[in-house]
Amino acid sequence: MVFDINQIQEMLPHRYPFLLVDRITDVKDGEFVEGYLNISITNSVFQGHFPGHPIYPGVLIIEGMAQTGAILPFTIMDKSELKEKVVYFMSIDKAKFRKPVKPGDKLTYKVSTIKHRGKIWHLKGEAFVDGDLVAEAELKAMIMDK
């Protein structure tokens, strides 16, 4: 299963500049999702984050991971529920940043389900650039009515 930006926007409430996933490239319903974000020097965040030495902010990497993970509950829901539900993040644990992410990088997010019970999802997220792990975290989320 692959989702383009239009399909992602049907599931997530985020829009530019806060939509931090460009495409979903692989999904195993309720278990695993992979997506990516192309990091461009034209992103306004680089004006103020390490000017002259542009580094993509770690907090935005985690947010992109979370947005990618938010797709997972929607993969097992009835399509009629998409417009009625939203995924809210409850916690971020064990976040680690391994390497800097720079303009021109393709940031690949891989998020898997640790477990889910009812409306609560516990996820493991990883972010890669060229196959190298750059960040990881455990995330918890809850599905809510809009």
pLDDT tens for 99-115 read: 999 999 999 999 999 99
pLDDT of the residue at 80: 79
User: Under 8 Å CB-to-CB from 89, ≥6 apart: which residues?
Assistant: 66, 70, 139, 140, 141
* Percent of the chain's residues with pLDDT above 90: 82
* Percent of the chain's residues with pLDDT above 70: 100
Q: Which residue has the tokens 């644990």?
A: 93
pLDDT digits (tens, 9 = 90+) for 4-43: 999 999 899 999 889 999 999 999 999 999 999 999 999 9
DSSP 3-state of 108: strand
User: Under 8 Å CB-to-CB from 87, ≥6 apart: which residues?
Assistant: 12, 70, 73, 74, 121, 141, 142, 143, 144
**Choosing from 49, 53, 116, 122, which is the catalytic residue?**
49
Rounded to 5°, the CA angle 61-90-59 comes to: 20
Q: Model's pTM, two decimal places? A: 0.94
49 is catalytic: yes
